[in-house]
Amino acid sequence: MIPQKNKRIAVIGAGISGIAAANVLKKQGYEAIIFEKSTEIGGVWAVAYPEVRLQNISSQYHLSDFPWTFTPDLHPTQLQIRQYLKAAVDHFQIDVRLGYEVLALEELEAGWQVQFQNQAGCYEDTFDYVLVATGQYIQKYHPTFPGEMNFTGKVVTEREIKSLDIFNHKRVAVVGFGKSALDTAVLAAQHGQQVHHVFRQPRWLIPQRILGLHYTRILFSRINSMMVPSWAYPTAAERFLHRRLNFIVSSFWKLVEFVLRLQIQWIGFGRNHAAVARLKIVQPTHSLVSDLRSAIAVAPNDYYRFVAEGRIQPHHAEVFGFSQDTLKLEQGEKIQCDVVVLSLGSQAPVFPFLPETYRHLLEAHKDGVQLYRHLIHPSIPKLGFVGFNTGFLHVPAVEIGTLWLCAALEGELELPSLEQMKQDIEQVRQWKNEHIQFEPSRGSGVNVRYQQYIDILLRDLEVSPYRKMPNIVAEVFDRYQCSDYKDVLEEYDYNRTSQIKLLHPIAVPT
């Protein structure tokens, strides 16, 4: 790819998605400038609660061509991730403008006029293209409940927790069943007097070890990732497996469910009836496959043990309201507490800087924005999205997605008709609605379908998706990680120097 060197691209957001995208843009010859309204890089990692850790392991969360500059924990901490991102920005000399808030985008014939502000005032600049990397977890959800103003304790979200001292010797109630809620419940149990965990529905959690193997050994190998039901399959073999041999797929997931239930029940083995009853409350009754979504969480090491021991008291109920020192649940149950943590996830992303007509296209659905290839909206020109293809192998998806956007921008990848792209979007949306439990990021989530998704993008670019070949054993059984994709840009550029034909997306909606 030989882009016009004078093309300028604005990237909105300096989380790992924005940084990864800007790195690809710079390597492809563009002038990329990141606008970040915060004074720190890191996105959600800059505002996360204390002691939060990455659910993935370190080898599955870094720029593909820039390994960790130090030895992090297996599951890196918030501080380690922020240290790594700063090192990446410095190493690649990425232009990041901290404290620059984008206020508005005005569409021009040749691009966008970006209006932004910093401490010095308000300014404008023009760009040929804009990439939105604001993330899908930035809009925290903090509903109000009856009587909340009369509550004498503290009501916070997990992002408002700056020190775990808030839990010291306190009676704590944590509301929610996502990663943040589970982490918070465990942290509160380690510091507080008593913890109550309140949730509308228990969810499937991924244990860090399944039959003694780290979960990434299972979920990140091609032989198992191809078993995940998806809205799209990149190969005829996968389509045949899921459409003609679906009994094999369903049997596989029933076996996984059995193993996960068995591991939870084993924690209650030899304990009293009350412990077994508490563990039963936190076990879901619906299928595991329907919970394979962006919000699926890795179980904190101590969560089930703390439930069995009674250090965390589970309540399968909805919050009704508050009184002076009490959290009221449906059917009249009351919990006396000093601190209530509302960890109810994020709302669907919003785009206040875009023109109103475009905002309506992107914000119309309560489960978030659904995009063509999870990268563009066909009715909005000169605008792309990175990080809205969140999955278990997120950084390579962002990098390859950015390369895909570059190919489309340069006219090397010819997009389908407007009608076809809209049809693909609706087909994917309908599949997600029917097969994935609701969450505000359902539209933009790739989640555990990361392998199918990345494979499709690579096939669009005519780059081999089989990154471990010619070692077929490794290709099938080893877990995939970021470094497997470090040569994708070079391979694409090499292929394009020897070809003049236009690329076309394969006929698979995603």
Q: Is the pLDDT of residue 1 over 50?
A: no
Task: Select the more confidently predicted residue: 330 or 99.
Answer: 99
Task: Select the more confidently predicted residue: 230 or 143.
Answer: 230
100 burial (CB, 10 Å; 0-12 / 13-18 / 19+) is buried
Helix spans in 236-324 (H):
236-244, 246-267, 273-281, 303-309
Of the pLDDT bands very low, low, confident and very high (cuts 50, 70, 90), residue 2 is very low
Of the pLDDT bands very low, low, confident and very high (cuts 50, 70, 90), residue 5 is low
Of the pLDDT bands very low, low, confident and very high (cuts 50, 70, 90), residue 477 is very high
Per-residue pLDDT, 162: 92
Of the pLDDT bands very low, low, confident and very high (cuts 50, 70, 90), residue 39 is very high
Q: Is the pLDDT of residue 58 over 50?
A: yes
Q: Is the pLDDT of residue 156 over 80?
A: yes
- Give me the residue label for tokens 């930035």: 138
Per-residue pLDDT, 342: 95
Lowest mean pLDDT among 24-38, 306-320, 340-354, 456-470: 340-354
Amino acid making up residue 47: V
Per-residue pLDDT, 346: 79
Q: What is the pLDDT of residues 338-362, one digit of tens each?
A: 999 999 887 889 999 999 999 999 9
Q: Rounded distance, CA 180 to CA 137, Å?
A: 12
Share of the chain above pLDDT 90, in %: 86
Beta bridge partners of 53: 77
124 Cβ neighbours under 8 A, 6+ residues apart: 113, 114, 115, 116
Per-residue pLDDT, 347: 85
In CATH, the number for domain 8-139+347-497 is 3.50.50.60
Per-residue pLDDT, 139: 64
**For residues 501-509, average pLDDT:** 94
Q: Is the pLDDT of residue 3 over 50?
A: no
Of the pLDDT bands very low, low, confident and very high (cuts 50, 70, 90), residue 500 is confident
Q: Residue 329 gets which letter from DSSP?
A: E
Q: Rounded distance, CA 45 to CA 41, Å?
A: 8
208 burial (CB, 10 Å; 0-12 / 13-18 / 19+) is middle
Query: Using CA of residue 64, residue 489, residue 454, residue 30, what is the dihedral sign?
Result: positive
Q: Is the pLDDT of residue 331 over 90?
A: no
Q: Note whether 216 and 57 are within 8 A (CB).
A: yes
Of the pLDDT bands very low, low, confident and very high (cuts 50, 70, 90), residue 135 is confident
Lowest mean pLDDT among 87-96, 185-194, 398-407, 498-507: 498-507
Q: Is the pLDDT of residue 142 over 50?
A: yes
Q: Is the pLDDT of residue 488 over 50?
A: yes
CA contacts within 13 A on the Cβ side of 239: 6
Mean pLDDT, the chain, rounded, equals: 94
Per-residue pLDDT, 136: 75
Q: What is the pLDDT of residues 189-227, one digit of tens each?
A: 999 999 999 999 999 999 999 988 999 988 889 999 999
φ and ψ of 454, to 5 deg: -65, -40
Range(s) of the chain covered by CATH 3.50.50.60: 8-139+347-497, 148-342
**For residues 256-265, average pLDDT:** 95
Q: Note whether 112 and 106 are within 8 A (CB).
A: yes
Q: Rounded distance, CA 176 to CA 38, Å?
A: 27
CATH class held by domain 148-342: alpha beta
Per-residue pLDDT, 345: 80
